[in-house]
Amino acid sequence: MSKVINKTLIIGLGLIGGSLAKALRSNRRFGQIIGYDRDPDETSVGIELGVIDIAAESLADAVSEADLVVLAVPVKAMETVLVDIAPFIAEDTLITDVGSTKANVVAAAKRVFKTIPTGFVPGHPIAGSEKSGVAAADEGLFDKHKVILTPLAESSSEAVNVFADLWESTGAEVLVMDVEKHDEVLAATSHLPHMLAFSLVDTLAQEQDHNTDIFRYAAGGFRDFTRIAGSDPTMWHDICLANKDALLSQLDRYITGLGRLRTAIECSDSETMLGTFTRARAAREHFS
């Protein structure tokens, strides 16, 4: 790592910001860890739990002093925070974000900065949980998980290297991808499965009557499949809107596949059913 980082500022001290703060505070490779959140309770809890070294009271001062800034706020809040910090960013400040969608963050950065700073490298840790808030911060959250960096044409290679180093210091494996590819891949592997889990649980919940709690009869498979339906509704609302086109195209593909399976069941078409299940099992075994 060439640039010396004395102060790292994390804006948005929730699950992801708090977990990153905790991991960096423990490895001590990125200087003092300063936390800022629009909710002062989050930073107070961050101090109490030893997640951060300092709770910033003024965002302007904290940004002016920071060598490296991480935006860990909900995707919908990224533009507001970029507007807030832009006047205080120095020429060599390194900036990243952890948003689950990337094209909207990059579009917001272009609107705010006009010329993207060379220190800006968008990112996305492919790790998380259905919990939120700094109290759920977990130092090991990123360990052995992937983090995708989506450098822009303007991003300097030095900035990319520092952020790769930062995430590797948390135990993560860093992958580099372009913004559009990221949003397509994540629509398929994360956003679509969340839609299926939310929709499945909501559909079954509507079938419940006062006498039968059908969830009592659910086995481990149902629990595994629907764990992510416990995720934060507002966060997922924002992700759906931020990655609308890619998600709609994955939903259309999925609905077509499900329709094909429905027809196969209706027509007792064993060949189609067995073909689907066998191909899916082989693909699942290959991936595990």
- Stretch 62-121 residues interacting with ligand NAD (CB under 6 A): 72-75, 77, 80-81, 98-100
User: In this complex, which beta carbon is closest to ligand NAD, that of residue 119 or of residue 191?
Assistant: 191
Phi-psi domain of 52 (left: phi exceeds 0; alpha: psi -120 through 50; beta: other): beta
Nearer to ligand NAD, 175 or 261 (CB): 175
For residue 263, the minimal CB distance to ligand NAD (Å) is 35
- Whether 171 and 147 have beta carbons less than 8 Å apart is answered as no
- For residue 21, what are the CA distances in angstroms to 99, 114, 212? 16, 29, 45
Q: Least distance from C-beta 164 to ligand NAD, angstroms?
A: 17
Point out which residues pair with 147 in neighbouring strands.
Answer: 125, 174
Q: In this structure, are strands 146-149 and 123-126 parallel, antiparallel, or unpaired?
A: antiparallel
Helices (H) and strands (E) in the chain, counts: 12, 8
Q: Which is nearer to ligand NAD, 32 or 104 (CB)?
A: 104
- Quick note: the x/- pattern for ligand NAD over 5-44, rule CB under 6 A, is ------xxxxxxx-------------------xxx--x--
In 3-state terms, the chain is what percent helix, strand and coil (to 5)? 55, 10, 30
Smallest gap from residue 78 Cβ to ligand NAD (A):
7
Size of the site for ligand NAD (CB under 6 A): 28
147 lies in the site for ligand NAD, by CB under 6 A = no
The answer to whether 89 touches 95, Cβ cutoff 8 Å, is yes
Binding site residues, ligand NAD, CB under 6 A: 11-17, 37-39, 42, 72-75, 77, 80-81, 98-100, 124-125, 128-129, 132-133, 235
